Amino acid sequence: MADYRALILQRHRQLKWKAFDWVEAVLMILCGVCISMFTLAVFLDVVTRTLGAPWLWLQQVTTAFFAWGVFVGMAAATRRNDHFYLTEITKRMTGAPRQTIEIVNRLIVLVVAVLLIWCGTQNALLDLGSYRMPSLIPLTVYTAIVPIAGVLIFLFTLEQLICGWQNGFEGPEDRDDTREAVL
Amino acid sequence: MSAAGVLILMTLLFLGFGYMGVPVSFALIAGVLVATAFTPISMQSMVGQLFHGIDSETLLAVPFFLLVGELMASSDVATRMIRLSQTLVGHLRGGLAQVVTLFSMFFAGISGSSTADVAVLSRTIARDMDKEGYDRAFTAALIASASTMANLIPPSIMAVVYGATGNVSIGGLFLAGVVPGVLIGIGLMIYSYFWGPVGVLKKRAPLTEVIVAARGSALPLVIPVIIMGGILSGWFTPTEAGMMAAMYILVVLIPALNRGHVRELPRDFMYAGLLYSLPLAAVAGASAFGWMVAYLRGPDIVAGYITGFAGTNGAMIMFLLVCVFIIVGDFIDAVPAIIIFMPIINKLTEVGNLKPLHMGVVIITTLVFGLITPPYGLSLLVASKYVGVGFGKAVIRSLPLYVVFLLTIAFVVLFPDVVLWLPKQFLPESVGCFKAPGGSGFICPP
């Protein structure tokens, strides 16, 4: 990728610091790496099984990339505001009510992120003593992504909170009569 | 606090946070974590449950079916199928509306993603529909309604999630989804023909043009054969079939039909990687939510209410569940809804002595309807955004199309033999049949 900025979503730019753009780009690349790797792993699994010499550990590699991909994507989607939402009511609000609700929403996400970091770290440490058979990969290799994602989600939410406080949460994208670009 | 109280608190918190604008996955997690404080369960084990919720090999099929959809949409290979649809039905009244529906039926056989279908149609036909004078609200309503077929006609992501969490044959759910999927397609075509905008009437395409378009679409249309052929022959699991379809697109389709797109593949993979994490993040939250529902004996409580009305009458239980899921589908995305309610669905399937596969296809068809109903009709939200029309206007134009969905749901509930005919022929075990002791044929329960 010639320019990493091509990977940065410009929607809701006012909620982002330029300094974190490279983190979003790295996470996007990691999303691509994870899905590519588990596609390759499943492919090799089918090939080796068809050849009569299955590599059983491939299934564990597959699930590791899969799980990492989910949590890396969850963190990336937090910065890009790409998550599934139940409603767009907030986007139609303006002024102080909008500011208040947006702040409360992000505080809720911050609390969840803190719990992911704290409890996720405890779980990952506990999992050091557990192994996946037959590859004997420590379970921590899988579960360590939970607190890592928690840290990233915390950072991005804090970024949005501070930027939103300074610049406002409303953006031109919130109008619904414009044709949004199809990716 | 009583178990029922904690259940209600958890549900209200999830809906409250969700409708305030907290992302679905975080709203689910927040609701569960608050509920956990009222139980002896540790926060640590609930956070662990988030990971265990997605630690499933069967769910691996989800990213593959999304990847297939994204690759087909972004590489413009799908436009060949649009051309084929145009030559087949473009001359009918409401020609472009017919093309939207027929293309969606083709595309549904390739991709499990209604969003990819919406993206392809919004980028291509929606602009032509603008030029031909179709109002944008109708265009958005039709594209959204037609895209829902992707969740019924195999491969279907909803079927994968339902099968994985409900321990129901995914191959069986794929086959059982064909009838409701095709019924919705036919219903939308009939509506467009008699009551939709006329559009610009065109001449029927000559046979040579149809043949040329069919040849152009031949390679993409091999994908359903790879997926269903692989699963039905027992060569592949649904996950492996999805991977093989993705490989086929990467190795055969794109190099053969749009070589220039090869440079864009890293970008496609990055977006597909992000895209699959969105429903699965919701799955992680929903699995913790579903676990807590089961722990608090939610299935017994809800089953108690429903059997209070319906007794053990299977048809009545199914009817009440359809009503519940029409409401649920209006407020919650289908994937988390399936996982949250699975313990309750399983309990009621047992109480009503219903076929799990029949129950599965009824629930999926009902939730598919939720993709176009307010306030949370995901397909309609995306389509109205891409087409550039207010969501409210698109909802109003969708109202007559709801009849098609309601009739289809009624058909699926009332005629299980028709719906389950395909799985019974190709995957008899999926409908509860077992091999005859003599070794020839199957014995199926009535």
> Residue A166 in contact with residue A14, Cβ under 8 Å?
no
B46 vs A contacts (CB less than 8 Å):
119
Subunit contact A74:B119, Cβ cutoff 8 A: no
pLDDT of residue B201: 87
pLDDT of residue B178: 96
CA of A134 vs chain B CAs: smallest distance (Å):
16
pLDDT of residue A169: 86
CA of A35 vs chain B CAs: smallest distance (Å):
5
Subunit contact B281:A74, Cβ cutoff 8 A: yes
pLDDT of residue B304: 87
pLDDT of residue A57: 87
Subunit contact A31:B273, Cβ cutoff 8 A: yes
pLDDT of residue A182: 46
Supply the angle between the helices B61-74 and B114-123 in degrees, to the nearest 10.
10
pLDDT of residue A73: 96
Q: How many CB atoms lie within 10 A of CB A136?
A: 9
CA of B34 vs chain A CAs: smallest distance (Å):
10
Cα-Cα-Cα-Cα torsion B373, B376, B378, B382, nearest 10 degrees, comes to 100
A166/B contact by beta carbon, under 8 A: no
Alpha carbon distances (Å) from A91 to A33, A172, B20: 33, 10, 10
Between B183 and A167, the higher pLDDT residue: B183
A48/B contact by beta carbon, under 8 A: no
pLDDT of residue B153: 94
Query: Count of A–B CB contacts within 8 Å?
Result: 203
| Predicted confidence pLDDT, tens digits, chain B (446 residues) | 888 899 999 999 998 998 888 998 999 999 999 999 999 999 999 999 999 888 888 888 889 988 888 888 888 778 889 999 999 999 999 999 999 999 999 999 888 878 888 888 887 888 889 888 999 999 999 999 999 999 999 999 999 999 999 999 999 999 999 999 999 999 999 999 999 998 888 899 999 999 999 998 999 999 999 999 999 888 889 999 999 999 999 999 999 988 888 898 999 999 999 988 988 998 899 989 989 988 988 888 888 888 888 888 988 999 999 999 999 888 888 888 898 889 899 999 999 999 999 999 999 999 999 999 987 788 898 888 888 888 889 999 999 999 999 999 999 999 999 999 999 999 998 888 888 887 777 888 77
**Consecutive H or E run containing A132:** strand A131-132
Is the pLDDT at A82 greater than 80, yes or no? yes
Candidates B136, B111, B168; CA nearest to B423 is B168
B239 vs A contacts (CB less than 8 Å):
42
Q: pLDDT tens digits for A1-20?
A: 457 778 888 888 889 999 99
Cβ within 8 Å of B, A 51-90: 59, 62-63, 66-67, 69-74, 76-78, 80, 82-90
> Residue B184 in contact with residue B405, Cβ under 8 Å?
yes
pLDDT of residue A183: 42
pLDDT of residue A39: 94
pLDDT interval class at A176 (50, 70, 90): low
pLDDT of residue A171: 76
A82 vs B contacts (CB less than 8 Å):
274, 278
pLDDT interval class at A71 (50, 70, 90): very high
> Residue A67 in contact with residue B55, Cβ under 8 Å?
yes
Is the pLDDT at A181 greater than 60, yes or no? no
> Residue B135 in contact with residue B397, Cβ under 8 Å?
yes
